[in-house]
Structure 1
């Protein structure tokens, strides 16, 4: 467990394949990507948990805030690994992992096994050794042992300041039009993706009223447009003095959004922090572009 300090960002690289554990852009899948080292989708934040006398870890995606989880749908022999929100205490059985040092099979000093809670025989496994076109990540249901279950931990240092936000796409509208549904602006021709956004403003210490959520329908994936929409609804002229965080479920930790939204149409809970507030200063951003060894 010394590999996983609480709050640290890290990558998990499959030792046999070289692929990185990757949060897919659909917001639901998890896969292996060999060239994803500099991608925020390959960065995971550690959340420690103590249960039943043991220490466990949760792995939260730095891109969309969702957790690495065992799929609720059983499969033959192996079950898929997915991204899930942390909605209820009973979800511990889906998103908690036990880390142990990997031994044998050429394992290095930074290689670990991740056993799924509560069945210690279930281990996180990379696919693709014999069939290179397979880039899935699964959990073995039968307690098998393989070097495909060995993962190299790469710690990601924090950035001294938040990264620049993505450049807005061509569908950015003037702020006074933000509250007009995009379907009305474009006759419904270009609005192919719409999701429900629940949002709430937090105080300087990150506290907010659970009864204070407001809701609107948002079209597209642009983070820039989302910030402009939230700022407009709050009567603010600009959105530069705010940080938009996703709360992935009632028990999920806040994750600052710095890339465009996932491709899914799943609803999102957004908590807005004021820039330069104590709560905002506590946020951490992984420096995925930092060279190895820093």
Structure 2
């Protein structure tokens, strides 16, 4: 007899690359909980969250396809902070199954943890499992019975018996060129708890911002070690825009567009949400608003 919540599936499931074209924006909804894959505000964790009245950019992912040994592989880049969905080498705490799913920059040699292979469950449907190419684990939600366990993990294929918590419905967004308006200034009071209850830094702690100016076509110095730096306090993207703009030629603040580069191999992501609640360094590429480089940036119509 099969265990509750699990089903016997073929060992060789067909790929579902048609649901993940390069550059597309998607949201992934867990079929059991009906909640969405969400890039946590700490810039590191990944969880499942309900839709809510206003759909957050944290629940939107951009498809980044790469070719590995002649095979197409999917990377999923968070639209809010630009970081990529990855699997951690560390095991999840008690109460969770498998290894932690996290947000990571795309850089260095250990990039296999960012690579996913979508496997179709039913022909003609938009249901998939996401298998990590680093260790073959499958992305899963937690909290079927312990509903307060919202973190996402990557779990093993339990000898062919695959939990329905590993099934995700793929929803697509329309791609819009340019950028949405920046949010209004936000005030943050105090710290909060992040991934698995870890205490996050207070808003007055600083992070290092590296920034570079792109030319009209969008070209810029790729070596971030050459970029100027400054210390930035808080999370407000509005305040960051002012600080970055003051450091540009002529001190231009309102006619610039910012994009975050999440690692040397990561794709540029328009920075239109407040920064993650962490002190991790950030690399910012600055464009002239209206330039060809800025027009090449895209965002999802949500």
TM-score for both structures, normalised by structure 1: 0.85
How far residue 78 of structure 1 moved from its aligned partner, in angstroms, is 0.4
Give the paired residue count: 265
Match of 1:213 among 227, 235, 246: 227
Alpha-carbon distance in structure 2 between the residues aligned to 1:108 and 1:3 = 10
Q: How do 1:45-84 and structure 2 match up within 5 A?
A: 45-75=62-92, 78-84=98-104
TM-superposition CA deviations, 1:203-240 (whole Å, max 9, x none): 12221122540000001111111111111112434422
Q: Secondary structure at the match of 1:236?
A: helix
Distance 1:191 1:70, change over 3 A: closer
Q: Where does residue 48 of structure 2 map in the other structure?
A: 32
Residue equivalent to 1:174: none
Shift of 1:108: 7.6
Check conservation: 2:177, 2:297, Cα contact below 8 A: no
Query: Hey, what does 1:176 align to over in structure 2?
Result: none
C-alpha displacement at 1:130, in angstroms? 1.7
- Superposition RMSD in Å: 2.0
Moved more, 126-135 or 61-70: 126-135
Moved more, 217-226 or 74-83: 74-83
State yes or no: 1:85 paired with 2:97. Answer: no
C-alpha distance in 1 between matches for 2:44 and 2:72: 26
CA distance in 2 between partners of 1:73 and 1:49 (Å): 25
Hey, what does 1:165 align to over in structure 2? 182
Moved more, 69-78 or 16-25: 69-78
Q: Is contact 1:79–1:141 with CA below 8 Å preserved after alignment?
A: no
Unmatched 5+ stretches in structure 1: 172-189, 289-294
Q: Structure 1's 131 and 6: CA in aligned 2 closer, same or farther, altered over 3 A?
A: same
CA distances 1:54-96 after superposition (whole Å, capped 9, x unpaired): 21100000000000000132358600100000121x2321100
Return the TM-score normalized by structure 2: 0.82
* SS of equivalent residue, structure 1 residue 240: coil
Alpha-carbon distance in 1 for matches of 2:134, 2:40 = 26
Unaligned segments of structure 2, at least 5 residues: 1-16, 189-201
